[in-house]
Structure 1
């Protein structure tokens, strides 16, 4: 998928401003992890080994917005765990989009179809669906059958509702 011209212009303008201000180093993407918890236990994932105290911690919507404001980067990537588990994820994303942040919401897509109503299509939001290859390989990698098919179904549903989706 090509990068939309609007996005190229906004990010290019941000970078030009940083250069004009004489900044050699500046943030471009904030990696915001409002939680580590996931609804899979993939063989190769190290996050499932974290203690429950870390896995159960959730950033509030306000903490997420404060982090984005403090960082100043034009893009916010929200990986996981699985961010769709977060009870405030819709509110978090709406607040970031309202701040004109380009949001990449990374997901394994098991909950995406069910949670699409929490989001509105926007030039500032795209879903990034994690797939480890085609069906057999992906389902083996995530240690659960049927995950690939559910992810593909969710991708189709999101695209049908007007969302941008990367894989």
Structure 2
């Protein structure tokens, strides 16, 4: 997947994108003056058909629009926690542990991470679970030592877009 931002991203948004690149099989590209069409062409050059455009509000990353072959595929409303340390992850050994059924297929497709067979893995995994206090999904990456690493992503809403109709298939909102 290719990750990019708005034309003039804040430092926190750039840090978030670099954090995603560090923990998953994604490439981060500074958009600058590139149009979305140019971004899609760049993704094809890099051999991927998925593009994530990170949006921001008040200088903080707050959304992700995911395009597949140039067509809007999914929209996520999120909040990123960048306060965790930068651990090291072996990207080829990363597995997905998902306790939120609505996000299992989507997360595996977006991040190109295979699902975990059992819960034996203690390191190099992405864990999607329900936050205890906020009752919203949270994505946590764990490094090769089994410690949480940035970014931690709180998902407040997830919309899957279909070419036939633009209705919401999956949605979780905060209380």
Mark the structure with the bigger radius of gyration: 1
TM-score by length of 1: 0.29
TM-score by length of 2: 0.28
Between structures 1 and 2, the one with greater helix share: 1
